[in-house]
Structure 1
Amino acid sequence: MKKPTSRPGLIVSLCLCTLAAAMPLKLERFDGPAATFQEPPGTVEIRGPMSVRVTPSSRPGAEDRVLEFEYFCAGGVPSFAALPGPPFEAKTSRMLPGLGHSEAWKSYTARLSTPDKPLPDGWKELRLDLPLPAERVLQIRNARLRPEVAGEFDATKATTSTASTEEALRTYLDQTPSANITKVSVGKDAVRIEGRSANPGSNLYLADIPMDVLLDDPQGWRTLVEITTNADGSFQTEIPRHRQRDGRDYDRLTSRWQLVRKTGDAVEPLSKARYAEEVASRSPGLPPARPANKKGLGGWHIGHLPDELDELGITAVTVNVMIHSLISLTPGPDTTPVRWQGRTYHANEKALAAMDATFIEAQKHHVMVSAILLIPNPAKDGSPVVKVMGHPDANREGIFSMPNVTSDDGISLYGAVLNLMAERWSRPDGRYGRVHHWIMHNEVDAGWVWTNAGEKTAITYLDLYQRSMRLMDLIARQYDPNSRAFISLTHFWAGAGDKRWYGSKRLIDLLVEFTRAEGDFPWALAYHPYPQDLFNPRTWEDKEATFAFDSHLITPKNLEVLDAYMKQPALLHQGKVRPVHLSENGFNSKDYSPKELEDQAAGMALAWKKMAGLSSIESWQYHNWVDNRGEGGLKIGLRKFPDEPGDPLGRKPIWHLYQALGTPKEDELASPYLKTIGIKSWDEVIYRKPVR
């Protein structure tokens, strides 16, 4: 690591306000191509290695020793030096923690001093020496200097009060039980359970365990149903679908079932707990979505470029749904009562109508719709619904949160809104439009940022997440037998990407373990194989994307790895390959010059030709539709910025290429990019060897 020097390089200066003063951030513009000012005002963009001068808006006090700001930086920034001054001297420098990889605005806090190592008297400015790689882009906004909050820098541990421990879960998944629940089927009025015990006899019971109950919690054995085995230890029984739970109606649709032996007051688990695999549907003939091609659009919404779906030939879209807005805990002038698990909630009709309009419009264009279900972070959102529905351990650094699936109140409210959506948007008459699939939250391998549940190990986190997936699966298949819950993952495959992230491959493998233990369900994969460097569209140059199962990344360069992995026997569902949707992907144009726009389109041409021969991949939802100034300097749209001087919403070359893909004009518009990539035929980039 390089030591800080007393001689700064190119300086960018920003005015830092103290939290107590709550003054707005002022930015002073400096000349130089590496630093620019962005919209919205107050954002500094830095490219490459640079020293940044930070100027407090008033004289800092001794207690003002925490540096805080928000940043956006794909790839992150290594540990860097902060030098108080002037003069800026190495002997008084502080090494601050690096900025982790971020694909959204993320908070950063660092302690500049401690009581035993104070900053020098009379300092007026800070110099931050940021060792960015030459092409990396860092955006900073809302910089502040503030007092330290008691305990904020204390080491944190994984919370277990709302999650099972890693040790308990590992033991549970690894053990070989003496009995098995072999099948659970939920009918209209009854639940049928089949199984076998190697040690038949008396005192055998089925434990009806609600989904919110943690592993080995005695509450899971409160409701026991006695059974009798046949001579060979097998049993089959039917149990009413509904029962009373704490004085209210409870639908056993979401229960898991475990064979136990009860001797006196002692209960001994004999099998693993199993969820229903078969669910009776009200509309067994509801047709599945059958997109005519693999061409989709991510983050689609109505009221903007209304003819775009038809002009581009789009057959699939994703739509973001902030689910907390659809339901209320109390009645209001525009609410309708809804019942779930014996509780009454209140549907927000205006919010639902707004989503109806989106899905009805999509239905008119005959496109497949996948809803991305998002929950605000209760650590930052004061909504009463969010406080109940969001995970109580969520850390403020998360943009969204995991649902609260391990409390009766939390999972009941969460289940109510899932049931409300699935019932409404799976009607055979299509009155409110149709949602075909449900993408459960966003990029959960980067859950610390996108689906936060606090500090959790991979297995404890995945145990929470798979409950959310199963709940949606069980509820949705009541109304649409073709509906699937999708796991959402980043392009970080065998590599985690950040110290608090998990890695996509690791979470998929854990999900397979849980389904092997507790019954399979038709989950599917929503993957985001962006290029290695989000700012560089030349994905064919990705060095960390190899053709092996231990590849650090999966990007458009090595999509064959994803296809091969999903076709392994352990990953199949009932002998069939699970659908893979590449539900968020795009290629950046560093600017609007002909060369950069050519590279952007070439990346898309390569990805499309790769997908053509990969049968597991059903759809590619291009993101972003239009360049967005809030995406950290990225310009990954098919169109230019809406306010681009002289060419607002201008169609880039990639727009015209995307329009041609899947049509007779595909090769005409794709072929020019062979030269960009440096090949003579698309066959040269197709990997045909076995992937292991």
Structure 2
Amino acid sequence: MVETNQRLLRPRPAVLLASVVLALVASLLVAPPAARAEPAQGVRTVVARDDSVTVAGSAPAGSTVAIHALGTEAAETSWSDGEPVATVTADADGGFTATVPRAEGRTDLYYAKYLAVVDGAVLGTFRYVDDNQVTPLASYPYPEPLNKKGVTLPVTDDAEEIGVQHATVNLPLNQLMLLEPVDPANMITFTSNGRTFYFDADLVEARDRQIKPSSDNGMVVNLIFLVQPTTDPNSAGRVLAHPDADPQAGRVLGFNTLTAEGVAYYTAAVEFFAQRYTRSDRRYGRATGFIVGNEINAQWAWANMGDKPVGEFVRDYERALRITDLAARAAYSEARTYISLTHCWITVCGTNPDPERPTRFYPAPDVIEGINQLSKDHGDYGWHVAHHPYPQTLANPAFWKDDRATGDIETTPMMTFKNIELLPQYLGRSELRYDGQPRRIILSEQGCNMPGTTAEAERLQAACYALAYYKVRFLDGIDSFILHRHVDHKREGSFRFGLWTADEERPEPDKPDRPKLIHDVFALIDTERSLEATKFALDVIGIDDWSELVPGWDPAALAQRPLPEVAGISTTARLGGTTPISTFDQGTDGWQVSDNAASVAADNGDLVIGFNSLAKLWRGSDVEFAEPLDASSTPYVGVRLRVPYQQETGPRYARIKAYGETGGAIAAGTARLADDGDEQQLTLDLSRWAARSSISRLKIWVRGSTNIDWSGTVRVAEVVRADRLADTGRTTNVNLTAVAPEGGRVGAPARLTLTNWDIRPVDGSLRVVPGTGIAIDPASFEIDRLPTGEQRTFTGTITGYEPPDIAAPELELSVQDVEYRVPLELPPPTPVELYDFDDGTAQGWQPGINVSSAAAVTTFLNGPRLPHDGSHALEAVGAGVAASAPRTVVLRPAQPLDLSAAHEVAVFLNSYGGAPDATGYEATFTLYSGTDRVTITAPYSPNRWNELVVPVTDWAGRSAIDRIEVGMRALGTETTWSGRFQVDSVGYYDRPRR
């Protein structure tokens, strides 16, 4: 899935019969007409070496055998159009062998397919390299992650924090690869087969910034090769896309393996990325798996080649798969190549526009067995399977109730987490194996939707992940479970697959805002705290013990990843007996860009880390030591740094991390920085960390605490280690949080949590300083010695509540005479729904101007196809008028609505985006009270839910609202258009949101 996920219709039995017939016809149509000898004769093996290719086979004894090398795209019959690369005589036993140079003034023969011809007749069929003895550019063991847990990136710093072991990164070649050269400063050139190809430097380097920190942290990274529809005249997507692809239908297009130019571009792209990301030195990061396309059994949506019988589709796709395998294995000895499949199995599912012609969506076994037959017939190789076992209904995460995921591999319509154990069994069949071994399986994309915005929906999403992870954890034959996705994506409509919510205030579709419950479960599920984190899910699922649904359940085997050890950091200590770790007089001393940083350089004796990213994301630099650092006798690490101050970033923090050489051991300390831009000394205490005798890497991170854009530089003056602390100073490095779980009001509870991040214990009292407009009883709490890394929560009662900023209340707290400003966290404003349409009616809403009808619906043709929340939405059908004319739906309640408790009234709007020549779209939301009104008019994005919010705190009419109107129109066009739009979740919030 790239941005949205479309599924397919279940066909009638006649459809499956038609598929077989069409596949047979297609195979006859593409079969070469040349006369054939016995199948036992012909090319039997092709051996590739660094400088030569050896072709061996059998032919009539004493016959003259012409060996022809054809391009990947060439029809088998085209052999007669060219000269043979070798001519040999079969020996008395009929054997022949020919060795030819790989490149001698002609196309590199590594990718060629070879035919043996005797007296004008083809012997057997063609064969590619099936014995690959080429010396790869890089050779090292395949990574050994701690477990199967993974996620689709983009947030690399959080991925490290929660222990991600596997990741996927999309490579949309239509964006990354160019047709013609551009400014050399924004272009990377690459030579493939004597030709120069061009890549967009900015976009490629953006992938570097995802892949390198991930692989440096030990993650196994898989790259997904894609080509999407494009209108960019300089995009190589114009050559890479299959000539028969329908860009109006496919979100992802099939690869062009029908023309020599398409093959040349695709080969160059795979070579470029495989060589870039498999280097032994990990200069750009490391990726070891390569997924060819996306969900190919749903080709019409996700690998579009136009209408194709399955046999013809598989033929064209398998060429790209083989090219990928050959190119990747020439780059890296252990590279793995994968096909990608949906959760649909025997039957197709979703929306098939023509179920009588199965030329758009295919049963998964037809695709797997078709590829297998081609690879067996023409030179087998180690392709593997990347499956996507989503729940049968993407919106409903309760996969344990899937009724279309049965226990019979021969008949099950779908392959979801419910019956995922069938997949290893199926691929274990002898006829599907490669070199005697089952083809490997990764679960490269699947997720658990949060079906709503309630706490119950959040628990259901997290329970889905817990059960799915446990099933896969104890299932042999699956290498990884890579969750989709890290952050909710606004372009996925009402789907909320992320570990984080997306920030609705940001223009980007997937910037992280708030971690959900699933985030906490994900972070702990592979640690000693696994059962603690997932206990709630038993009640959600309706079981007493995980063994009821998890074959092979073994709770003792859950802790596969050690939790990072909390190390104290002092902001006041002085060091004694120091030894330099890194100095920056002569350069960066090996320190490199980490995570959301943009640059690292040495300047005037300092390490200067440049950045431009969201404030709340960690950014910084790390160094990997050529020889592990032994800090047994020097366990204190001192870092002197200066971090720019910007009030809008909120409180700023630094983190120092030390990595043990083996076993995933990490020690990390965190410090809240002073609210200024002055230089600070931070001292990390590793004296109690068992792995300090063999430190392989150090990392320095900084961040703010808001989602504003934050750019600047961090300057690190020195990094040292010391054998003692000359003075530990005061305990000032503590973290404080304040939560009012029942809201900000007199009589409600307030919880104050103190965490000791310092080297020394915290003693004394925690005091609430008056003057913030918020009073708590008691105003002081005794701490009673809080050790490093531990926290304590104190509960009081709010006795006064008049903060200056009701949307962002703050407390001032004091610990050991140091005062801290602490936001008071409130529960999210309660959304009170007035109209959800889930009873299947319009609930009093009527067509307004230029709308012909309005009715409750469960689905609609435009994205995201599903209601914003619940089972129904209101759909308005526009009249055929100018696209720029407003279209509205109207509610006139029988009695005026009293929304005196409301601070904001909101509605979610979505629309079809197909207005001809439109330059944009505009929505209007208006509330009326007699002749008075409040309104908002704003641009919006079609094919996704958009929230429209009208503030009403200061509007007197909110106590008697007698009309509500919601509307939209297209901009920049007068063309006649009868577009549709949808409305859902009309309601209000009981307090303003920030």
The answer as to 2:372 corresponding to 1:512 is yes
The answer as to 2:151 corresponding to 1:291 is no
Inter-partner Cα distance in structure 2 for 1:77 and 1:458? 16
**2:386 alignment partner, one of 526, 532, 537:** 526
Counterpart position of 2:782: none
Inter-partner Cα distance in structure 2 for 1:594 and 1:386? 43
CA displacement, residues 632-689 of structure 1 (integer Å, 9 cap, x when unaligned): 21111112232389x972222211111122211122222332232222333322469x
Alignment of 1:543-692 (within 5 A): 543-550=403-410, 551-643=412-504, 649-686=513-550
Q: Is the 8 A contact 1:466 1:511 kept in 2?
A: yes
The answer as to 2:193 corresponding to 1:329 is no
SS across alignment from 1:636 = coil
Task: Give 1:576 deviation, angstroms.
Answer: 1.8
The answer as to 2:123 corresponding to 1:275 is no
**2:361 alignment partner, one of 485, 501, 505:** 501
Q: Is the 8 A contact 2:180 2:234 kept in 1?
A: no
SS across alignment from 1:472 = helix
SS across alignment from 1:620 = strand
Counterpart position of 1:476: 328
SS across alignment from 2:491 = coil
- The structure in which a higher percent of residues are strand is 2
With over 3 angstroms needed to count, the CA separation of the structure-2 counterparts of 1:214 and 1:478, relative to structure 1, is same
- TM-score of the pair, normalised by structure 1: 0.70
Code of the residue aligned with 1:616 in structure 2: it is G
The answer as to 2:237 corresponding to 1:386 is yes
Inter-partner Cα distance in structure 1 for 2:257 and 2:166? 30
The answer as to 2:83 corresponding to 1:232 is no
Inter-partner Cα distance in structure 2 for 1:370 and 1:389? 21
Inter-partner Cα distance in structure 2 for 1:180 and 1:324? 39
With over 3 angstroms needed to count, the CA separation of the structure-2 counterparts of 1:368 and 1:640, relative to structure 1, is same
Mind listing any 5+ residue stretches in structure 1 that lack a counterpart? Answer: 1-70, 79-157
Counterpart position of 1:317: 167
Task: Give 1:399 deviation, angstroms.
Answer: 1.5
Alignment of 1:326-405 (within 5 A): 326-334=176-184, 335-377=187-229, 382-395=233-246, 396-405=248-257
Inter-partner Cα distance in structure 2 for 1:322 and 1:504? 24
Inter-partner Cα distance in structure 2 for 1:559 and 1:399? 27
- TM-score of the pair, normalised by structure 2: 0.50
Task: Give 1:272 deviation, angstroms.
Answer: 1.7
Task: Give 1:231 deviation, angstroms.
Answer: 2.3
Q: Is the 8 A contact 2:458 2:518 kept in 1?
A: yes
Q: Is the 8 A contact 2:103 2:109 kept in 1?
A: yes
With over 3 angstroms needed to count, the CA separation of the structure-2 counterparts of 1:418 and 1:217, relative to structure 1, is same
Task: Give 1:159 deviation, angstroms.
Answer: 13
With over 3 angstroms needed to count, the CA separation of the structure-2 counterparts of 1:419 and 1:219, relative to structure 1, is farther
CA displacement, residues 234-288 of structure 1 (integer Å, 9 cap, x when unaligned): 23332111144xxxx3100101112221x2xxx2111221111214133463221
Q: Is the 8 A contact 1:445 1:504 kept in 2?
A: yes
Counterpart position of 1:426: 278
Inter-partner Cα distance in structure 1 for 2:85 and 2:457? 65
The answer as to 2:66 corresponding to 1:205 is yes
SS across alignment from 2:448 = coil
Task: Give 1:176 deviation, angstroms.
Answer: 6.8
SS across alignment from 2:169 = strand
Inter-partner Cα distance in structure 1 for 2:366 and 2:38? 22
Task: Give 1:72 deviation, angstroms.
Answer: 7.6
With over 3 angstroms needed to count, the CA separation of the structure-2 counterparts of 1:282 and 1:394, relative to structure 1, is same
SS across alignment from 1:250 = coil
Q: Is the 8 A contact 1:279 1:477 kept in 2?
A: no
Q: Between the two structures, name the one with larger relative contact order (CA 8 Å, sep ≥ 6).
A: 1
Q: Is the 8 A contact 2:179 2:234 kept in 1?
A: no
Moved more, 617-626 or 231-240: 231-240
SS across alignment from 1:216 = helix
SS across alignment from 2:492 = coil
The answer as to 2:304 corresponding to 1:452 is yes
Q: Is the 8 A contact 1:545 1:558 kept in 2?
A: yes
Inter-partner Cα distance in structure 1 for 2:500 and 2:170? 20
Structure with higher Rg: it is 2
Counterpart position of 1:42: none
Task: Give 1:193 deviation, angstroms.
Answer: 2.0
CA displacement, residues 464-510 of structure 1 (integer Å, 9 cap, x when unaligned): 11100110111111110111221011000111223421122211111
With over 3 angstroms needed to count, the CA separation of the structure-2 counterparts of 1:687 and 1:326, relative to structure 1, is same
Task: Give 1:170 deviation, angstroms.
Answer: 7.2
CA displacement, residues 201-236 of structure 1 (integer Å, 9 cap, x when unaligned): 313222211101024334676435212223222233
Inter-partner Cα distance in structure 2 for 1:348 and 1:222? 38
- The structure in which a higher percent of residues are helix is 1
SS across alignment from 1:213 = coil
Counterpart position of 2:110: 253
Q: Is the 8 A contact 1:377 1:452 kept in 2?
A: no
Q: Is the 8 A contact 2:53 2:102 kept in 1?
A: yes
Q: Is the 8 A contact 1:528 1:585 kept in 2?
A: yes
Q: Is the 8 A contact 2:4 2:491 kept in 1?
A: no
Q: Is the 8 A contact 2:8 2:348 kept in 1?
A: no
CA displacement, residues 566-600 of structure 1 (integer Å, 9 cap, x when unaligned): 11112222122222111111111111323222221
Alignment of 1:139-218 (within 5 A): 165-169=26-30, 177-197=39-59, 199-218=60-79
Counterpart position of 2:827: none
**1:307 alignment partner, one of 157, 161, 175:** 157
Number of residues paired by the alignment? 520
Inter-partner Cα distance in structure 2 for 1:357 and 1:276? 35
Task: Give 1:629 deviation, angstroms.
Answer: 2.1
Inter-partner Cα distance in structure 1 for 2:519 and 2:309? 42
CA displacement, residues 598-628 of structure 1 (integer Å, 9 cap, x when unaligned): 2212211221121123221111111121122
Code of the residue aligned with 1:495 in structure 2: it is T
SS across alignment from 1:200 = coil
Task: Give 1:189 deviation, angstroms.
Answer: 0.4
Task: Give 1:318 deviation, angstroms.
Answer: 0.4
With over 3 angstroms needed to count, the CA separation of the structure-2 counterparts of 1:310 and 1:356, relative to structure 1, is closer
SS across alignment from 1:656 = helix
SS across alignment from 1:605 = helix
Code of the residue aligned with 2:240 in structure 1: it is M
Q: Is the 8 A contact 2:271 2:331 kept in 1?
A: no
CA displacement, residues 140-193 of structure 1 (integer Å, 9 cap, x when unaligned): xxxxxxxxxxxxxxxxxx999xxx943245799x99713143322211100122
Task: Give 1:528 deviation, angstroms.
Answer: 0.6
With over 3 angstroms needed to count, the CA separation of the structure-2 counterparts of 1:360 and 1:664, relative to structure 1, is same
Inter-partner Cα distance in structure 1 for 2:436 and 2:63? 37
Alignment of 1:45-84 (within 5 A): none
With over 3 angstroms needed to count, the CA separation of the structure-2 counterparts of 1:540 and 1:189, relative to structure 1, is same
CA displacement, residues 67-125 of structure 1 (integer Å, 9 cap, x when unaligned): xxxx98866899xxxxxxxxxxxxxxxxxxxxxxxxxxxxxxxxxxxxxxxxxxxxxxx
Mind listing any 5+ residue stretches in structure 2 that lack a counterpart? Answer: 11-20, 553-994
Moved more, 223-232 or 524-533: 223-232
Identity %: 28
